[in-house]
Amino acid sequence: MINHLRATATLTNGVQMPWLGIGVFKVEEGPELVQAVKFAIKHGYRSIDTASIYGNEEGVGQAIREALEETRLTREDLFITSKVWNADLGYDSTIAAYETSLQKLGLDYLDLYLIHWPVEGKYKEAWRALETLYKEGKVRAIGVSNFQVHHLTDVMKDAEIVPMINQVEYHPRLTQKELQAFCMEHNIQLEAWSPLMQGQLLDNPVLQEIAASYHKTVAQIIIRWDLQNGVITIPKSTKEHRIVENSSVFDFELTKEDMARIDQLNENHRVGPDPDHIDF
């Protein structure tokens, strides 16, 4: 059972990645961002997920530096993820993008680097670049984001290293069962972005009923459902009380019946772009 905030999943190469982290999608540079990341670290989070396209790597880096100065933690205690954006996909350009992200974050290495979207005709060269970065010891783990089964199959045809992570939109309205089964079969760890469906699930009557029976919030029920499904999750929040609330999910376990009820909410409904039809 995943029963505390420091609990980790073991990736195929043995690297330990926290099951629960904080995401900073759409959080602009500035004091709010720095405070949010510092709150998270103060309250026991160790995993922080950003991306070059978020435009906030410098603020995340500042928060990390300040948090390390103010606590007894070291860089090795944290797990930092970033992603290469579509415009930078390609062998040389991906390596250059990685160096830029490191510079902005003010770090010597990343724990995880992902291809952000499977842009047709570009992601294989980018994957080759990630393999190089990994072999050179510049990043501890590599993976992809928003890859469907056919994208994974395609990249794995020529890959020397199988992606360690696939970070995808995942929530009770989009349970991705087929994709998760494929990932499990190939030892690719699934990770959820937008686990709370950008807040659209918080007034769902089924989830509200389940939440009331556990004396928890709907957000806590969804995060717990993620974890019990073996999915790493990175809910986003900038408010300290929410950051704490989102991590207060280790003192209860959903029954099989309630897990099944939540699974039944699936409608294959996306709030983000469809990976098969991206034009950005």
In total, the chain counts a number of residues equal to: 280
For Cα atoms 269, 272, 273, give the angle at the middle one, nearest 5 degrees. 100
Give the type of residue at 76.
Answer: E
- The Cα 64–Cα 113 span in angstroms is 17
Half-sphere exposure of 186 (CA within 13 A, CB side): 20
Phi and psi at residue 150, to the nearest 5°:
-70, -30
Q: Quick one: tokens of 114?
A: 């992902």
Radius of gyration of the chain, Cα coordinates, nearest whole angstrom? 18
CB burial of 61-87 (b: ≥16 within 10 Å; e: otherwise) equals: bbbbeebeeeeeeeeeebbbbbbbbbe
Contact indicator for 92, 130 with CB cutoff of 8 Å? no
Out of 45, 54, 123, 170, which one is annotated catalytic? 54
The CA-CA-CA angle for residues 253, 177, 233, to 5°, reads: 50
134 catalytically annotated = no
Catalytic (active-site) positions: 54
